[in-house]
Amino acid sequence: MHKNRKLFNNSIFKMINDELNKSYEIIKEGGIILYPTDTVWGIGCDATNPEAVAKIYQLKKRVESQNMIVLMNGDKMMHNVFADIPEVAWQIIELSENPTTLILDKPKNVAANLIAADNTLGIRIVKEPFCFKLLERMKKPLVSTSANISGQPAPKSFKEISAEIIKGVDYVVNLQPEKMGGKPSTIIKLGLDSQVKIIRK
């Protein structure tokens, strides 16, 4: 039984590693992927590549003024994108039990078409294994937006994703995570003056 479990674990590890390699190669070449996040299935690309970001807006039929968020995997990536981070941001990241997106001021080192008109960017720190390891490989933030045409309901599972979205991406990650939140993250806007505004619970 123990031996079988070890073989099973090795096969799962290989499958995840294969998907990481394929996803990374697509993203590196400016492509977009459909992938599982810690909340819902998302469409993603290199957050520093404006042409790849534009592909996602086009696929979702979404105007660029409706900004998308990016995923990060820790402090180093955060500091590379924001020169000033309110102390309360670290407190929220540490204490939040559920996935939480923070909207922060004055981002840098990301595609200009991700930055909102008020010079802010929404980010989320992820611990979900696939996203975390992909971010490690990329060493750059990863765009994350729900896998739906703009204005339509966000799919709660892979089977609810439209054929148009599936056909429109460059790669579909072949993983079915055991646990997903099934709903979008909480969104909190933080100003450099430490003002806190809850956008979505």
DSSP code string of the chain: -HHHHHHHHHHHHHHHHHHHHHHHHHHHTT--EEEE-SSSEEEE-BTT-HHHHHHHHHHHT--TTS--EEEE-SHHHHHHHBS---HHHHHHHHH-SS-EEEEEESB-SS-GGGS-TTSEEEEEE---HHHHHHHHHH-S-EEEEESS-TTSPPPSSGGGS-HHHHHHSSEE-----S----SPPEEEEE-TT--EEEEE-
pLDDT on residue 14: 79
Say what the pLDDT of residue 85 is: 93
Please give the domain boundaries of the chain with CATH numbers for all domains. Answer: 2-200 (3.90.870.10)
> Within the chain, which residues score under 70 in pLDDT?
1-12, 65, 177-184, 194, 199-201
Give residue 197's pLDDT.
72
